[in-house]
Structure 1
Amino acid sequence: MKKLVLIAFFGICSLVGSAQVRFPQVDKSPMDMSYYPANYPILKIQDKVKEPLMARVVYSRPLKNGRRVFGELVEYGSIWRLGANEATEIELFRDAKIGNSRVKKGRYSLFAIPSQDKWTIILNKDTDVWGAFLYDAKKDVARTDVAVSRNTEPLEAFSMFFESNNGNIYLMIGWDQETVRLPISFF
């Protein structure tokens, strides 16, 4: 009888153990998010919000991993999704001016065409897309060229954040040895 109980016990344990949910592994390029104003959700729960939410960017953060990024991994002159995995998205909570283009509030994909001295940053109305494989220039709502500056230290992870400087707002985009500043103003 004891053998039968033990066999039943181990049988049930093995069934329970094999029925566990298997979660996917952590992505090599994890998703991240940046807000303007910076840390908006934290400020909101702390009741320290001084200005309304204006913009949010959602992107994946690939790593350099010893590779030469621009000119090789990310080809100069080719459309790039600004990160990894799904195309990067920016959500504007007010109408804005990006470069010289007026853009209505809403959610847009962000792409870039990098070159050695400048990047063309593109806002496109097609969202929830993987990479730049189905990029359609007919759906662009804004394009602006921004100058490249060289970093003194290489950035291991692709990074984006909003910066406010003397009343101007910039989306800072950097990876490896390159950084660009996308000017944004809100109405």
Structure 2
Amino acid sequence: MRNIFIVVFALLCFTVKAQDASTSEVKFPVADPSPADIVYYPLNAAKVKADDATKPIVKVIYSRPQKKGRDIFGVLEQYGKVWRFGANESTEIRFFKKVTIGGKKIKAGAYSLFAIPNKDSWTIIVNKQTDKWGAFSYDETKDVVRVNVPVKTPSKPIEYFSITFNSKEGGINLVAGWDKTQIELPINF
């Protein structure tokens, strides 16, 4: 009798647990305060119609931190230290064909972007390591190229870290800006 009671009790517990699992709601993570974004060159490459032959040349996947009233470069992001070039995971840049940056030819493929911000110039780093969180595991031995670029001051502060491209003879400039800082990285095809 005691064995039957134990078996019935165990079955009841299992049934209740199974009902709880089937009726419980999935808990989704809250929205990230630094949303992910993607930018292509040409800028319309992802939106082309079926009969349009435009193909992407460069794609950047990055997260967009906000200023939120803070001083960014030199305060929040220290001068002279490697920065992930955005928020969350390190920023990824994909070249769909061979490009040249800082006089160095770079094969088609996926890379990460890092930066070392300073007051008057930044060092932009293209690195082989991808899919890492932030710059915490940045490995300088995997750098493909480092390029120094001058800092410009936009006409008004930029709330979200932003990346776009503009055309230039022989290629493009990757333009990045946040707060009172803007840089341009020349990329040649």
The interval holding the TM-score normalised by the smaller chain is 0.7 to 0.9
Picking from 105, 112, 125, the partner of 2:115 is 112
Could you report, residue by residue, the CA deviation over 1:31-85 in whole angstroms, capped at 9, with x for unpaired residues? 0000011021112x353344x3111000000000000000011110000000000
Corresponding residue of 1:54: 57
| Letter aligned with residue 161 of structure 2 | F
User: Retained in 1: the 8 A contact 2:170–2:188?
Assistant: no
Q: TM-score, normalised by structure 2?
A: 0.85
What pairs with 1:84-99 in structure 2 (closer than 5 Å)?
84-99=87-102
1:151 counterpart SS class: coil
1:15 shift after superposition: 5.7
Output the CA distance in 1 between the equivalents of 2:185 and 2:164.
11
Output the CA distance in 1 between the equivalents of 2:77 and 2:168.
29
Picking from 142, 152, 165, the partner of 1:139 is 142
1:149 counterpart SS class: coil
User: Retained in 1: the 8 A contact 2:113–2:124?
Assistant: yes
What pairs with 1:1-187 in structure 2 (closer than 5 Å)?
18-43=23-48, 45=49, 47-50=51-54, 52-186=55-189
User: Retained in 2: the 8 A contact 1:40–1:49?
Assistant: no
Q: Which runs of 5+ in 1 are unaligned?
A: 1-13
Output the CA distance in 2 between the equivalents of 1:114 and 1:28.
23
Q: What CA RMSD, in Å, does the superposition of the two structures yield over aligned residues?
A: 1.8
Q: Which runs of 5+ in 2 are unaligned?
A: 1-18
- Higher Rg of the two aligned structures: 2
Number of paired residues? Answer: 172
Corresponding residue of 2:5: none
1:168 shift after superposition: 3.4
